Amino acid sequence: MKPPCPVQDRAHKKDIRCHNYGGGSAAATTALNPLLVFALLLATIFTLFMLFSPSPPMIKPDLQRNTSSFIRPQQDCDLYRGHWVPDFRRSSSYTNSSCPTIPDSKNCFRHGRKDTDFLNWRWKPDGCELPRFDPRAFLGMVRGKTLAFVGDSVARNHMESLLCLLSQEETPVDVFKDSEDRFRTWHFRGHDFTLKILWSQFLVRGEEEVINGSSTGTFSLHLDEVDGAWAREIPTVDIAVVSAGHWFFRKIRLYQRGRLVGCVYCEEPNVTSYGPEHALRMSLRAALGHINECEECKGTTTTLLRTFSPAHFENGTWDTGGGCARTSPYGEGEIDLGSSEWGFRNMQMEEMARAERVGRGRRRGRRFAALDVTRAMLMRPDGHPGEHWGNKWMRGYNDCVHWCLPGPIDVWSDFLMAALSQHI
Ligand SMILES: *[C@@H]1O[C@H](CO)[C@@H](O)[C@H](O)[C@H]1NC(C)=O
Ligand SMILES: *[C@@H]1O[C@H](CO)[C@@H](O)[C@H](O)[C@H]1NC(C)=O
Ligand SMILES: *[C@@H]1O[C@H](CO)[C@@H](O)[C@H](O)[C@H]1NC(C)=O
Ligand SMILES: *[C@@H]1O[C@H](CO)[C@@H](O)[C@H](O)[C@H]1NC(C)=O
Ligand SMILES: *[C@@H]1O[C@H](CO)[C@@H](O)[C@H](O)[C@H]1NC(C)=O
């Protein structure tokens, strides 16, 4: 079986190859050995992405203010269908010096990025306007609440962007950080608002297989067991922003009730082969199902599923010199909605709708909605750090997965604010 290639494979850009995460066609179609090596390298790159994160100290609580300036978007408009329009009047609401929490690895200007045009674009939904993020109004909406991002380093990237946006109104207090900086909690005292990242690559319990004391890069996923790291905390959370994706492009063994039920990227006798999409679908279903079933959770929990965030490696994969040096967005006609990334997004929307139907049928119905960022971000090959991510140990490698701050990822919080104004 040939697993899907998780890249945009636009016909007119023949130099693009499968880029990433063990899902590269080269790795996927050949035998096990290169695949294992690849997966190991991959585990390394993610570990390194993780190690080089922020170190921000600061305190400056602020007063609560008026929240009436935010205009709700029209209910009947699809905010996620649109295009990027040049906008030179509205610069970013923060800079690398006005955001005290900016993480070094996303501080692209500090690491030599020279072009700034990528900041001068505004997302324009086809049928309406997307209201701009308003930190004061946002903090008013979430007063007294806890919002948690559940996911991997791209989920953390969103939290980092939101922190920068909010810190223009109130400086958060860093209240918790684990030794690996995977779990982090911030508190906005002036608004009694708590913001967290609950790290979970797979949403379900996943363990890296270890043979004779060394990591193999192969993971075991227990599709019927949600990852306790976030599940334990979810009863204290009012708003969960759940996402997953990039860790599924590797060799994974799938278990249900302790029995091996399939395998991703492996050809093993008597084991059903699946692509990453199936593993992600089942993990999401388990995670959203858990939120629907959760007895201890607050009745009002709102869950937003943030859809797949595309990478943009060109001229190679991340480990074969691939990069992302573009300085402006693609137009609507230039993105490929036949790509597997878009397929991932469609699957995620299906699982979200499924959970939403279940939630609606319950007495203490949980609410579900999408932060459907995939289409907008497919158009932003210019938004990644590329070589400007300041990693001394991985010089020569490009980060075309995460997003610069400030940058187009800041629109995710515009979407977040719009979604919350409709769903909380
Ligand atoms: C909030 O601002 C609006 C207009 O900007 C004003 O009409 C309203 O009185 C203000 N409310 C509070 C509580 O300050
Ligand atoms: C901010 O970016 C400028 C380049 O635009 C860079 O020279 C400076 O070092 C950066 N400042 C911080 C605090 O990262
Ligand atoms: C583990 O190590 C032992 C002793 O070195 C060796 O015999 C065995 O084949 C190894 N197992 C695997 C799966 O590599
Ligand atoms: C696979 O299944 C067949 C039929 O049940 C069996 O004969 C064979 O031994 C199995 N192979 C392995 C490697 O388990
Ligand atoms: C890909 O390679 C071509 C030809 O060398 C070059 O012009 C282009 O800028 C490269 N693209 C990226 C994103 O680096």
DSSP 100-114: TT--GGG-TTTTT--
Q: Among the residues of 54-184, which ranges form H helices?
A: 135-141, 153-166
Asked if residue 398 belongs to a domain, the reply is: yes
Q: Is 206 helix (H, G, I), strand (E, B) or coil?
A: strand
Residue 311 counted as domain residue: yes
Calculate the alpha carbon distances from 79 to 21, 116, 148, 275, 348 in Å.
30, 25, 23, 30, 17
Asked if residue 188 is part of any domain, the answer here is yes
Distance from the alpha carbon of residue 67 to the mean position of ligand 1, in angstroms: 8
SS3 for 261? strand
**pLDDT of residue 37 exceeding 80:** no
User: Is residue 12 in some structural domain?
Assistant: no
- Nearest-CA residue for ligand 1 atom 14 is 66
How far apart are alpha carbons 114 and 259 in whole angstroms?
A: 53
Smallest CA separation from ligand 4 atom 5, residue: 270
Q: Is the pLDDT of residue 21 over 90?
A: no
Which protein residue's CA is at the shortest distance from atom 12 of ligand 1? Answer: 66
Active site residue 12: no
- What letter would DSSP give residue 3? P
Rounded to whole angstroms, the Cα distance separating 20 from 17 reads: 9
Nearest ligand 4 atom to alpha carbon 269: 13
User: Which ligand is the nearest neighbour of the Cα of 137?
Assistant: 1
Ligand 5: which of 10, 12, 15 to mutate, most ligand atoms within 8 Å of CB? 15
Residues 6+ apart with CB under 8 A from 33: none
Give residue 39's pLDDT: 46
Residue 10 placed within a domain: no
Probe ligand 3: pick from 211, 212, 214, 218, max atoms within 8 Å of CB?
212
Lowest-confidence pick of 146-150, 304-308, 363-367 = 363-367
Strand 273-274 with 214-226, pairing: unpaired
Percent of the chain at pLDDT exceeding 70 = 81
pLDDT over 90 at 34, yes or no? no
Whose C-alpha lies nearest to ligand 1, atom 13? 66
Annotated active-site residue 423? The verdict is no
Nearest alpha carbon, ligand 3 atom 1: 212
Residues with CB under 6 A from ligand 4: 269-270
Q: How does the average pLDDT of the chain come out, rounded?
A: 84
Is residue 103 a contact partner of residue 405, using CB atoms and an 8 Å limit?
Answer: yes
Q: What pLDDT score was predicted for residue 71?
A: 60
* pLDDT at residue 321 greater than cutoff 80: yes
Q: Identify which of 422, 391, 336, 366 has the alpha carbon closest to the alpha carbon of residue 53.
A: 391
* β-pair partners for 176: 185
152: tokens are: 């991997």
Range of the domain at 44: 25-423
Q: Which residue among 10, 16, 314 has the greatest number of ligand 5 atoms within 8 angstroms of its CB, and so is best to mutate? A: 314
4 found inside a domain: no
> Which atom, in ligand 5's list, is nearest to the CA of 314?
13
Q: Which atom of ligand 5 is nearest to the CA of 381?
A: 13
Note whether 184 and 155 are within 8 A (CB). Answer: no
- Residue ranges of alpha helices (H) inside 52-170 are 135-141, 153-166
Active-site pick, 83, 384, 402, 410: 402
CB burial string 10-31: b at 16+ within 10 A, e below: eeeeeebbbbbbbbbbebbeee
pLDDT over 50 at 136, yes or no: yes
pLDDT digits (tens, 9 = 90+) for 39-98: 444 444 444 443 333 332 222 233 334 444 556 666 678 999 999 999 988 778 999 999
> Which bound ligand lies closest to the C-alpha atom of 68?
1
Encode 166-176: b = buried (16+ Cβ within 10 Å), e = exposed.
bbebbbbebee
Q: Indicate the number of domains in the chain.
A: 1
| Per-residue confidence band for 412, with pLDDT thresholds at 50, 70 and 90 | very high
Per-residue pLDDT at 286: 97
Task: Report the CATH number at residue 230.
Answer: 3.40.50.1110
Give the 3-state secondary structure of residue 324.
coil
The answer to whether 134 is a known catalytic residue is: no
Examine residue 3 and state whether it is found in any structural domain, yes or no.
Answer: no
Tell me how far the alpha carbon of residue 244 lies from the centroid of ligand 2, in angstroms: 31
Q: Which ligand is nearest to the CA of 70?
A: 1
**Exposed/middle/buried for residue 72 (C-beta within 10 Å: 0-12, 13-18, 19+):** exposed
Q: What is the pLDDT averaged over residues 314-320?
A: 88
Cβ pair 79, 420 in contact under 8 A: no
237/171 Cα distance (integer angstroms): 21
pTM of the model: 0.82
Rounded to the nearest angstrom, the distance between the alpha carbon of 237 and the centre of ligand 5 is: 44
Q: Is the CB of 323 under 6 A from ligand 5?
A: yes
In a domain, 2, yes or no: no
Name the band, by pLDDT with cuts 50, 70 and 90, for residue 14: very low
Q: In the sheet where 204-211 sits, what is the strand order?
A: 204-211, 214-226, 252-256, 259-264, 273-274
* Centroid of ligand 2 to alpha carbon of 385 (angstroms): 14
